[in-house]
Structure 1
Amino acid sequence: MNPALELAAFAGLMALGQFSPGPDMILLTRTALAEGAKAGAIMALGIATGLTVHASIAVAGLAVAFEQSPGLRRSISWAAAAYLLWLAYCLLRSAFATSAAVDENPGSPPSSRGPFLRGLICNLLNPKAVIFLAATCAPFLTGDHPSWWPFAIAGLVIVQGGTLWALWAWLLQWRPLRSRYEKSARWIDGIFGIALAALAVKLLVAP
């Protein structure tokens, strides 16, 4: 296959995986709606930084060892679940706060971490990210390719991830959508909080 067409096919596959429901998407969507496009773009940069680590592991083939180490995977899953539960608690506390508290700090759950760190930690603690990337990258790394090919694959993961997430954060600033969020922020925060808690429970009960 022509290298350009092969990269295009890989980019399309990555885009489908990127916008599937998961911790990164839920957290970024809520951040962009509540804190604006700049915070969303900064979080997208944090997620892309996490993808740098995951892509390096996947391209280097270390994900196979990761998959074969159930103890390591389990430890990371528990750490990820704990972090997601903490985020869920922040959102649910915001959703069920008194009106006075909401007026003082509208639409923003208490957090000492900035958007970049929240995005980075959320992505790094997602054990399924490296497995997904390994499974997606593997078919595109087989066969005869030039020496620069693995770097192109890894670079595409990182650049496309950060760019599309930042674009998503910008698209969420569409005024009718933001107006709807501002009117129903507490309910939406509650839904996002429950979704993150559900993902945490899924990690805890996964074999």
Structure 2
Amino acid sequence: MSPALELAAFAGLMAIGQFSPGPDWLLVTRTALSEGTGNGVRTAAGIATGLVFHVGLAVGGLAGIFRTEAAWGKAVACLGAAYLLWMVVGLLRHAGEIPELGEIRSRGEAYLRGFLTNLLNPKVVLFVVATTSPFLAGDHPRWWPWAIGGIVIAQGFLLWCLWAWLLQWPPVKQGYRRAAKWIDRVFAGLLVILAVVLVLECVAI
């Protein structure tokens, strides 16, 4: 397989994993629907920053710490679950509240939410490691790891930005505004499930 085709196959695999339901998807979706494209893009930027850390672990061969050092894996899992539950509390407190564009003040908070949600999810680094390992194996040029890492980060940012933009389609926005309170409660319930699953799966690391 040529390098170009191999990189294209890797990009496709990462895209499938990126849009599987998880904390990042829920956060970008809810933020874009309730706060608009701007904060959706800022959330995507935060997620991409978290991916820099995960890519560093994968490409640098340091991800084994989550397998060999159980305390580290458990600590990150517990922090991630606690952060998701903290987001649930805020989501339920403000369920159905849709600020107007001029009222959206917390631009830095949107970025920070994206960064922490991605960073504190050990399943992300495990997915990145599992996905990149086969493509990093074998004989490749020196620039190859940089290309693989760049695809993870750039695609993670650009596809989430595109998703935030697509969610501004008027029928979608109007539907969200009509059912915002119930949709926010569903999002909160899904985050609780993800937090529980995170603890159950990662405590055993």
What TM-score bracket applies, with the shorter chain setting the length? over 0.9
Partner of 2:129: 134
**Matched-pair contact (CA < 8 Å) for 1:29–1:172:** yes
> Are 1:70 and 2:65 counterparts?
no
TM-score (norm 1): 0.91
> Are 1:180 and 2:192 counterparts?
no
Query: Matches of residues 74-85 of structure 1 in structure 2 within 5 Å?
Result: 74-85=74-85
Partner of 1:21: 21
**Matched-pair contact (CA < 8 Å) for 2:39–2:107:** no
Q: Mind listing any 5+ residue stretches in structure 2 that lack a counterpart? A: none
**Matched-pair contact (CA < 8 Å) for 1:67–1:131:** no
> Are 1:60 and 2:69 counterparts?
no
For 2:9 and 2:68, how far apart are their aligned partners in 1? 28
**Matched-pair contact (CA < 8 Å) for 2:65–2:72:** no
Query: Matches of residues 32-43 of structure 1 in structure 2 within 5 Å?
Result: 32-43=32-43
> Are 1:117 and 2:112 counterparts?
yes
Give the Å deviation of 1:21.
0.6
> Are 1:151 and 2:146 counterparts?
yes
Q: Which runs of 4+ in 1 moved over 6 A?
A: none
Letter in 2 for 1:55: V
Identical aligned pairs, as a percentage?
Answer: 55
For 1:154 and 1:42, how far apart are their aligned partners in 2? 21
Give the Å deviation of 1:163.
0.2
- 1:97-137 superposed Cα distances (whole Å, 9 cap, x missing partner): 8xxxx48x57x9xx896110000000000101111111100
Q: Mind listing any 5+ residue stretches in structure 1 that lack a counterpart? A: none
Distance 1:112 1:32, change over 3 A: closer
Give the Å deviation of 1:67.
2.0
Letter in 2 for 1:150: P
**Matched-pair contact (CA < 8 Å) for 1:49–1:120:** yes
